[in-house]
Structures are given as C-alpha cells and as structure tokens.
Amino acid sequence: MYGKGLRTLSIATVIAMALALGLVFFYAPLEAEQGFLQKIFYVHVPLAIVALCGFVIGGLLAIQHLRTRDSRWDMRSYVAIHMSLIFAVATLITGSIWARASWGHWWVWNEPTLVSFLIVFLLYATYQPLRFAIEDPERQARYASVFAVTAGAFVPLNFIAVRLSTAYLHPRVLGSTSNLPGSMALTFLVSLIAMALLYATLCKYELTAKHTRAQVRALRRRLSGGEPGARRSRSAAPTLPAGAPAGAASAGRTAA
Amino acid sequence: MRRTVSALLRKELLVELRTLQSVPGMSLFAVTTFVVFHFALNRDTVDGDLAAGILWVTLLFAGILGINRLFVADADQGGFDGFLLAPVDRSAMLVSKVLTLLAYLLALELVAVPAFGLLLLGTSLGPGLPELIATLALGDLGIAVIGTLVAALAVHTSARDLLGPLLALPLLVPIVIGGARASAPLLATTHHSGAPGRWLLTLGLYDLVFGLIAFALFDFLLED
Amino acid sequence: MGISILADTPALPLHEAGKYVAGAYVVLFVILLIYVAIMALRLSRIERELGELLELPEQNTQEEPAALGRSERESTPA
C-alpha cells in the first residue's frame, strides 16, 4: 500500500519548503564574496546531495531486489533512480546558471561537483535504455538491479576521483560547505531537509501512481473473466504483480 | 576453482589464437587512431599531458572493441548454457573473462605503446618505461574488471554494441583520470620525479573495489 | 558590517545577480510543474479506465453480441 502517509509527507514537504524559502530570502545574510548570487547555493547543493543519495539508495534497493527477488524492490529502485536523475538534471542546470553568473561561462571544468555530476548523469542516462533493451521482465529487473548496484557504488568513487584530479588546479569557485556561519548553516540545513522531503514525496507519489495503474489493470483482467487481455507492449518500467488480495483489502480500509 | 579458471582461460586464449578476432583488430585500431590523431591535432609530436591523454583515450576505445566481443560467442553459441550445466563455481567465468580481457589489453599495448613512441611521442619512452608499464597494468586491470561486468550486462540486450560502450565509458572515467595523470610526467620532455604514487594508489583502490563488486554481482547475470 | 557595504562588493551587481538566482529557483519550479502535469495526465487516464471498468459488468449482463464487448476492450490502450 503505497499511498498511505503520502498526505502527511506532502504536508511536511510544503512546510519545510516554505520555511526554507523564507530563511533563504529573509534570514540568511549576504555572503561577502558573491553577494546575492550565493543564494543559488541553497537550491543547487541540496539538489546535488539529495540526487547523489538517491542514486546510492537506488543501489541499496537494488541489492534488496537481488536478495529477495521481490519485484516491489525493483520498482522502488527504479523510481528512486528515475527521480534522482531528474534531480541530477536540475543540479546541472542550476550549477550551470551559477557558473555563468560567477565566471561568465555556462560550463566550467574546475568545479569538481559539477563535473562529477555530468559523469554520473551520463551513466544513469543509460539506465532506461538498458531496461528497454531487455524484453524478458524478470531478466530486465535483474540486470537493472546489477547496474543500479554498480552505478551506486560508482557514485562516491567518482566524486573522489574527480575531486582528486581538480584539487591542484584552481580553488573551488562555488565555495565549500564547511565553516559556514551559523545562520547560513541553519538555512542550508533546512533547505537540505526540504529537498529530501520533496524527493521522498515525489517518489512516494510516483510509486502510488504506478501501483494504482497496476491495480486498475488487474481489475480489468478480473472483470474480463480472467482473460489475458491485450499483450503488454515492451516497456522500460518494472511491472508490479497483479493486485494481491491483501492489497485490495487494505485499500478498502485506508480509503477514508 | 583455480582449475576451472585455468581451463576456461586456456579455452578463451586458444579460441582467440585460432580465430584472431579481437587482438589484431584492437591493435590495428590503436595504430590507426594514432594516425588520425596526427591529422586531427595537426602535430608531429606530442608530450606530457597531451601524450598521456592520447595514449589513454586510444587504449580505452581499443579496449571497448574487445569488450564488445567478449561474451558474444558465449551468448550466440550457447556457451552460457554449457557453463551453467557444469558443476563449477560460477565466479570462475568472471575471473577467466577478466584475465582474458586483461591479456588482450596487454597484447594490445605490446603493439600500441611502441607504435605511439614511434609515431607521436616527442620524447623517448625509455626513462619512464617501468613506471609506465606499472600504470598501464593497473589501468588495464580496471578496464578488464569493469569491461567484463559491462559486457555481461550488455550482451543479452538488443543493442549490445551500443549499450556496452555507453555503460563502460562513465565507469572508466576514474581509470582515465588516474592513468593519464600518472602517465603525464612520464611522457614529458623534462622528466620529473616520476608517476605520482597517489594516482597509482587511486587506480589500485578502484580496481579492488570494482573487483569485489563484480565478484558479488556476476552470478546474478548468469542465471536463466 | 553594513549590508549595504557587502552589497557593493559582490561579484555581480544586485539587479543582475537577482536574475540568475531567480532563474535557478524558477528551474526548480518549472521541473516540479512539469511533473505535476505528467501526473495529472496519468490521473485522468486512470479515471477514464476506471470509468470503462465500471460499465463493463453492465455490458456483460446485457444481451449484446460478444463482438461488441471484445471491440470495447481492444479499443482501450493497454
């Protein structure tokens, strides 16, 4: 049952987001070097951190899938990676905007975070094509999970490698997150929490929608007298097993 | 386990010796690429950073050719099924394939590195050669491990020639970083102190971590 | 440390920096809205499918040619 708790989560997200935005624009002081421009920091870095954690979580969920062979873990892994990819794109775009404003170029190579993200993005962009290229659903899920674990392990290693390669060239342009003054640190923390809640809400939303769709399909099959129905076309998304009786029962109870 | 691995390895190398479908192609590709670089960069000699970059990129793409072919025969001719029927440790296939790919890469470098020294390199290979060999060996091990894992992933998909490189290249970026950074001072006109140990350590650790990951995950790719 | 002094020293003047900051936050907003739109489309599709499913038992109990029932099912997307 995926929708349970979605309302609470989304309300928490709204509150956290509003709080974060308020803190960013009305409380956090202007930074000495970059001035107002530094405010991008509060949207870019939380996006980056949440995306990275999302990728790693996707790998952990994939491990669970490989261990239990339960396709629900594969679904969760798929959604986590999908959402993290969207957050990664947002990270790249906001980072590019910041680079343009700071350096005058839309892309800079001496910012290790941005460069690492580009590599990670290019890797995870192959996740969906990989899934789509394998027809058999069980094999698709299994191979995707192997990929997710490999890629999830790659993310931290890649960061270390890229950071090592740029450390001796230029000082970091986008500023480090350590030794932040207290008010900025608080604002950053709240922004990070808000972004993490947003990620969780969107993932839960996505899972609920997918599950609902699977339930509708199962219902259709049942009402059609158990016929197999139209053959599912090839897809990259994992499928959930046909609606289990337990799921339908709890759906009735929690529908209120 | 060791007997299985050596048996499999023997088979792979025998097949390669008889059919010659990987190593000669890879070597030729590398030499041709050096020629292409000469025209693309419009330079007679390169050294330092540029030389290291050209060498590693060429080795990388030649390696990709080998990666693409690694499991094709097994997939198309039932090699997987035959292996799965045998009462042996499934990780033996991983180890044998990694060693095979490593052997291909080393053979490739026996041709490519002298060719590079002849065609494009401004300085002589001599002084930095031992460290260069060590760097190449560590890098090759990483390419072999990741290449095998990716090849096994890609071979059962419908776009195996395309997905293999797409999956492999981002995963190999840290190897390129470590390898090129370590090689650059070795190929420079004014020889510095030698390959910074930091990069060799990075390469070694990366190889180790991905070796463990591949070992843990490979069995899941073999089931059917 | 007056805010006014700090505002004079930054990399970009305030009115220019404002555009970039706004751009970054707008990007986030737009991505969220696109997601909302996609979910809205999915929701309407589910609503339509459920509506069809509600009518299904009524059709089955009526005396209709089987061909019509089959064509109804095939016309809905999988």
| Domain range for A121 | 6-224+236-254
Interface of C with A in 1-20 (CB under 8 A): 3, 6-7, 9-12, 14, 16-18, 20
Q: Does A230 reside within a domain?
A: no
B163: which 2 tokens? 């997905």
Looking at residue B44, its pLDDT comes to 85
- Identify the band that residue A246 occupies on the pLDDT scale cut at 50, 70 and 90: very low
A9: which 2 tokens? 């989560």
Place of tokens 């793409």: B61
Q: How many residues are given for chain C?
A: 78
Q: How many residues are given for chain A?
A: 256
The answer to whether chain B touches chain A by having 3 or more C-beta pairs less than 8 angstroms apart is: yes
Number of structural domains in chain A: 1
Looking at residue A250, its pLDDT comes to 37
Helix, coil or strand: residue A234: coil
What are the backbone angles phi and psi of residue B188, rounded to the nearest 5°?
A: -80, 155
For A179: left if phi > 0, alpha if psi spans -120 to 50, otherwise beta; the answer is left
Helix, coil or strand: residue A4: coil
Residue A242 to residue A228: CA distance in whole angstroms? 12
Contacts of A36 in chain C (CB under 8 A): 7, 10, 12, 14, 17-18, 21
The answer, for C35 touching chain A at a CB cutoff of 8 Å, is yes
* DSSP secondary structure, B144-207, as one string: HHHHHHHHHHHHTSTTHHHHHHHHHHHHHHHHHHHHHHHHGGGGSSS--S-S-HHHHHHHHHHH
* DSSP secondary structure, B11-52, as one string: HHHHHHHHH--SHHHHHHHHHHHHHHHHHHHT-S-B-HHHHH
Q: Does A73 reside within a domain?
A: yes
Looking at residue B191, its pLDDT comes to 64
Give yes or no for residue A247 having a pLDDT over 80. no
Residue B81 to residue B85: CA distance in whole angstroms? 6
Closest CA to B108 of B34, B208, B182: B34
Q: A111-149, pLDDT tens digit by residue?
A: 888 888 999 999 999 999 999 998 888 999 999 999 999
Q: Which of A37, A82, A223, A233 to mutate to test the interface with C (most CBs of C within 10 A)?
A: A37
Q: Does A51 reside within a domain?
A: yes
Looking at residue C73, its pLDDT comes to 56
| Contact state of C73 with A224 under an 8 Å Cβ cutoff | yes
CB within 8 Å of A9: residues ≥ 6 apart: A197, A200, A201, A204
Does residue A111 contact residue A99 with C-beta atoms inside 8 Å? yes
Interface of B with A in 134-173 (CB under 8 A): 149, 153-154, 156-159, 163, 166-167, 169-171, 173
What are the backbone angles phi and psi of residue A31, rounded to the nearest 5°?
A: -80, 150
Q: Does A214 reside within a domain?
A: yes
pTM of the model: 0.84
Closest CA to B122 of B57, B189, B40, B56: B189
Q: Which of A24, A26, A27, A30 to mutate to test the interface with C (most CBs of C within 10 A)?
A: A30
Q: Does A83 reside within a domain?
A: yes
Q: Does A1 reside within a domain?
A: no
Q: Does A108 reside within a domain?
A: yes
- Distance between C44 CA and the closest CA of chain A, angstroms: 11
Which ranges of chain C have pLDDT less than 70? 1-14, 60, 62-78
